[in-house]
Amino acid sequence: PAAAPPQGDADPRRGLAASKLLLSLAEEQKRLLENRPDQPQNPKVLRIAIIGAPNAGKSTLSNQLLGRKVFPVSKKVHTTRCKAQGVITHQDTQLIILDTPGLTNPLKAKRHNLEEAMLTDPWDSMKHADLVLVLVDVSDHWTRNSLSKEVLKCLAQFPHIPSVLVLNKVDVLKKKFLLLEIATDLTEGIVNGKKLEVKSAAKQDSRSSVKLPLHITQASPSESKVPGSPSGQEKNQAQECSGLDKSSDVGGAGTTGEARGPKHHEHEDLKGVKGWPHFQEIFMLAALHGEEVDTLKRYLLMQAKPGPWEFHSEVLTNQSPQEICNNIIREKVLEYLPLEVPYGVTQVTEIWEEGECGELFIMQSLLVPRESHKRMLIGRGGKVISRIAQEAGQDLMNAFLCDVHLKLKVEVKG
């Protein structure tokens, strides 16, 4: 078997400091998750489900909101294999982020050898959510003008849960005026009960460097006020610089709240449907670079409702350290192996030891189905596996805030 050199020979003072803070990563995490949360005087909470097509950037956005990398990220689809929770605690407010697998169908799940949880977890997350963020990759010109059928089914199944549209990777889009057209298509021209109209002035020369706002809000005059929602002045400012006009209320001002709200849709009703006309807000951002993520985070904090915290304020995720480790290593394997090859890799942790100075020693075996896959994973002169170990070791140090010595070996499954 090929082994990668140990990683993480950083300043020993970091490890010493870490040892004073915790006896064991796993024990400390278990203690924090099992003990009662440290409730503030007037706690508020918001459970957020992030859904979208595979590779839309859900895990990247979750990591940026958390401020640390705890969810795996890769250019390949289905990097996130199971439902995981991230926790943001700010003053008296706790946001619980449900980072779900990309919504997929049974045919694609079978092709990528995905677990059954990949099909059920996004739906389970929706059942417990107070708010749903629908993430769309605007850099993909094949899919950006319509929501996937799986996303539409999810929204139609839970129409009572408030939803927000998040357009991601806007920095990649050179023709910024297209954002307005995409937003109109994905919302069917309606946001928070108001009709959107794209001003002709917005369709200027594609070479123009006009900077569009990254937050669009439309609300009817008779809106039901959400605690902490933007003021009318803020909304008008957003509309003025967005190139979107307000129009008449959809459904009439005299209708009841039930009549004006989204109705439950049967799946047959979704044929030919491209957008969802019940989004409350639209945000435009670039999650990879953190652009406008703070704007979204402030909005989410304002939407929190009074209620007890679910986690201790020091908890960042409900994942165990071993799960975080597996996910980070798997992310690198996905990144460096071609096509479907990485989906057949099985990870087995052989050694997990924590030293007296807080450093972490990990040895993991990567089991592959074929000898040819083993050669690919090792690489010429061991370069591929060494690079995977180096990058994964660095990410683990950033996640655990201690020195990490990671060793990987590759074997063919017996």
Tens digit of each residue's pLDDT (9 = 90 or more) over 30-83: 888 888 889 999 999 999 999 888 778 888 999 999 998 888 776 665 544 456
Same domain, 302 and 392: no
- What would the mean pLDDT of 159-175 be, rounded to a whole number? 93
- Predicted local confidence at residue 279, as pLDDT: 96
Residue 252 lies in a domain: no
Sign of CA dihedral 304, 308, 310, 311: positive
Residue type, 406: L
Residue 285 lies in a domain: yes
Q: How many domains does the chain have?
A: 2
Residue 335 lies in a domain: yes
Domain interval for residue 389: 321-412
Residue 231 lies in a domain: no
Same domain, 384 and 285: no
- Predicted local confidence at residue 211, as pLDDT: 43
Residue 206 lies in a domain: no
Residue 29 lies in a domain: no
- Predicted local confidence at residue 101, as pLDDT: 59
- What would the mean pLDDT of 279-298 be, rounded to a whole number? 94
**Which of 306, 332, 352 is the endpoint of a domain?**
306
- Name the β-bridge partners of 405: 361
Q: Is 54 helix (H, G, I), strand (E, B) or coil?
A: coil
Closest CA relative to residue 293, chosen from 385, 409, 215? 215
User: How many CA atoms within 13 Å lie on the side-chain side of 247?
Assistant: 14
Q: Which two tokens stand for residue 190?
A: 């309606």
- What would the mean pLDDT of 188-210 be, rounded to a whole number? 61
Same domain, 162 and 46: yes
Q: Is 156 helix (H, G, I), strand (E, B) or coil?
A: helix
For residue 52, the surrounding DSSP H or E stretch is strand 44-52
Residue 171 scores a pLDDT above 90: yes
Residue 244 scores a pLDDT above 50: no
Tens digit of each residue's pLDDT (9 = 90 or more) over 116-142: 443 444 466 788 899 999 999 999 999
Tens digit of each residue's pLDDT (9 = 90 or more) over 323-339: 889 989 998 998 888 87
Taking the mean position of all CA atoms in its chain, how far away is CA 116?
A: 20
Same domain, 355 and 399: yes
Same domain, 64 and 173: yes
Same domain, 140 and 43: yes
Same domain, 43 and 190: yes
Sign of CA dihedral 406, 28, 66, 129: positive
- Name the β-bridge partners of 364: 349, 408
Residue 355 per-residue DSSP state: -
CA 100, CA 125: separation in Å to the nearest integer?
Answer: 7
Q: Report the CATH number at residue 109.
A: 3.40.50.300
Same domain, 59 and 132: yes
Q: Report the CATH number at residue 380.
A: 3.30.300.20
Same domain, 114 and 74: yes
